Chain A
């Protein structure tokens, strides 16, 4: 075949030049859009990395293990913030884990279709409430009416109220991811269980739950990642602006990784310029990014495992 005929037959198959040009243009535009997501990720990493390195070069490493987190006094104790974050996560998960999982079991295994379709939107509304609103609720309602009612010595700003607030915010996430996992368990497994004479409770606990365990684990990991990154509830309800001594008291005020960032950027604590306190903001951001990234990657592995199973 000569060169000429090959081009001629080729072009008649792929269409007019104008049409091919618009096809190429469409594809190029779409590719550029997709590439932007990579640019954004690189942007995040670069913007926090450069400033974090500058922060670490400006301070003595011993400043990272001071008696507390007081950035304006050069005390950058990471243990204080990690202890706060850990407390919030534990409290929130103690609430959201069981409540979300049990609600998911009911929605997936007990609720009729109509009930389920009416209740799920309500859960979605709960998920859609801005976290700053839940922070205010934790401070003005949960703290006086729940925490102080049980522990009269608790301070107005306390980890327990903030943790409960974060937990409430996380329930819909746990419930919806675990429910999806349980509904993905094939009907035949349930029917086999009933066929053997098992009761509903036995079927749910011994068949459905084990079969969906990776989805439930994924729900918990994603929820933990969410609670670690939750900022506003803690910033409003756990209180300590300016800094905090190392504490493991859930009834007292304190700071977390995220709340410390919010507090560094607001009001009288606002720091600007190239001071080490300002740069510490980016260092905390980097730590937070790494922790949640690790959790999300692990959570994702579990989510995909459920999808492959059946």
Chain B
């Protein structure tokens, strides 16, 4: 054996000192397993729901989607929940998005850096962390009470529910819109001012269009969150159990209402085994709505959000 070969092998040996890094290998496996745990759980959950819920669709077909609520499992359907959730999907954005985006524009573009602005910002961050069930109390004490005082029966209508959910997602809309606006580089802003545009013109024609994909992503995420919420609506007056809906839009808006998550909660508490399958079927419909919205948001962000 030549001298150089001996040197090479001893240097290699000392570089690899303990041979393979077994501890590091095990550590990486543990890390991967933790991640897999979350993914596998998601998979099991979806598989379990599909296995229990799909037979209902096979048996009942569209009947399940078009039937009203009923205490008899063979007739119960989620039509009223679908209608309620769709109305929410229109009303919540109507109430929450304009206010949310305007607030974000004010905080990022107009607000002076003073104590009041900092108070508002901190306040919004804290509002985002308030448990959703507490918003239900706000809905009950403010919106339901207001509608009752205005003469809309007991006030427990879908308008009160939608206002409650709008207030619930407002901080989320503001925070995501603020982040999107902050990500627009100041060179764009300065270019606008440089050609003589006014502050509002800069905001309207330059900043908002540039931040639109980010703002939109936040909106869709907020909507998905609102459509999956149960707890606030339990307090703010959604109906548990069956009821009859009026025919006209006015009657639907001011009468008793339910949404898909409320139906899931109501059925999950029923002791009859038949309702287990129905609950799973209702969950499939609910997940189809919320996961669809989520998937759109993720796609939007991955495709259109610009890295400046």
Q: Does A associate with B in a complex?
A: yes
Chain A positions near chain B (C-beta within 8 angstroms): 15, 19, 22-23, 26-27, 29-31, 33-38, 40-41, 43-44, 47-48, 51, 98-103, 105-107, 110, 117, 119, 121-126, 128-137, 139-141, 168, 171-172, 175, 199-201, 204, 222, 225, 228-232, 235-236, 241, 258, 261-262, 265-267, 281-282, 285, 288-289, 292-293, 295-297, 299-300
* Chain B: interface residue total (CB-CB under 8 A): 87
**Interface contact A30-B110, CB-CB below 8 Å:** yes
B37 CB to nearest A CB, Å: 5
- Say which residue of A31, A135, A292 sits within 8 Å of B110 (CB atoms): A31
CB-defined interface of B100-144 with A at 8 Å, one 1/0 digit per residue?
001101110111000000011011111101111111111011100
B131 CB to nearest A CB, Å: 3
A48 CB to nearest B CB, Å: 6
Interface of A is mostly: helix
In the complex, A51→B98 CA distance in Å? 32
**Interface contact A175-B48, CB-CB below 8 Å:** no
- Say which residue of A105, A128, A296, A297 sits within 8 Å of B224 (CB atoms): A128
Residues of B within 8 A of A289 (CB): 130-131, 134
Kindly report which residue of chain B lies nearest to residue A297, judged by CB atoms. Answer: B126
**Interface contact A229-B283, CB-CB below 8 Å:** no
Contacts A19-B198, A265-B235: A230 and B131 contacting too (C-beta < 8 A)? Answer: yes
**Interface contact A133-B49, CB-CB below 8 Å:** yes
B43 CB to nearest A CB, Å: 9
**Interface contact A99-B265, CB-CB below 8 Å:** no
**Interface contact B167-A40, CB-CB below 8 Å:** yes
CB-defined interface of B267-308 with A at 8 Å, one 1/0 digit per residue?
011000000100110010011001100110010001000000
Of all A-B residue pairs in the complex, the 10 with the closest CB atoms, nearest first, are A229-B131, A130-B228, A47-B141, A30-B106, A102-B34, A33-B102, A106-B31, A296-B129, A231-B231, A103-B35
In the complex, A129→B289 CA distance in Å? 11
Q: Which one of B200, B261, B290 has the highest number of Cβ atoms from chain A below 10 Å of its Cβ?
A: B200
In the complex, A107→B48 CA distance in Å? 27
Residues of A within 8 A of B228 (CB): 128-133
